Amino acid sequence: MLKTAKNHLVKLLSETSTGSERDFRNAVYAVIDEPLFDRIMSYIDLARSSASAEIIAGGRGDKSKRYFFEPTVIVVSDPHFSTMEEEIFGPVITIWIYDDDKYAIIQACRALRSDRRPGSSLPDSH
């Protein structure tokens, strides 16, 4: 199933247009400036060099004419990989595949019980 989903996603992204924000047919635009471009590229480079990540689509940027990135999809084996926990502000998405029968419900419950940070909207349960 993963291979089928991957092939579908790669095909969909290859059909996604990138270009000027003035052309509403484009789905992906340039990022705002070079520092942001470099920051986004540092995440992509980290994924490229990590044993716990694989770039399955995109991963290339071009700053010769503005600051464009291909829509990039990263698959990780570590749910705490930096692209899973930090906001990137660019056309990058990270996927972590888990065994939902063994993991999802347990982790969701643990996360809800442990979220007691100031400003959390979750009520304390006693």
- List, for residues 47-61, the tens digit of each pLDDT value: 999 999 999 999 999
Predicted pLDDT at 119: 53
> What are the tens digits of pLDDT across the range 66-123?
999 999 999 999 999 999 999 999 999 999 887 776 677 777 777 777 655 555 454 4
In a domain, 120, yes or no: no
Q: Residue 4: pLDDT band by 50, 70, 90 thresholds?
A: confident
Domain holding 17, by residue range, is 2-98
User: With contact defined as beta carbons under 8 Å apart, do 20 and 29 qualify?
Assistant: yes
User: With contact defined as beta carbons under 8 Å apart, do 91 and 28 qualify?
Assistant: yes
Q: Point out which residues pair with 61 in neighbouring strands.
A: 69
In a domain, 36, yes or no: yes
Q: Report which of residues 38 and 99 the model is more confident about.
A: 38
Return the sign of the alpha-carbon dihedral for residues 114, 117, 123, 126: positive
In a domain, 77, yes or no: yes
Which ranges in 15-121 belong to alpha helices (H)?
Answer: 34-49, 82-85, 104-114
Q: Return the amino acid letter for 46.
A: L
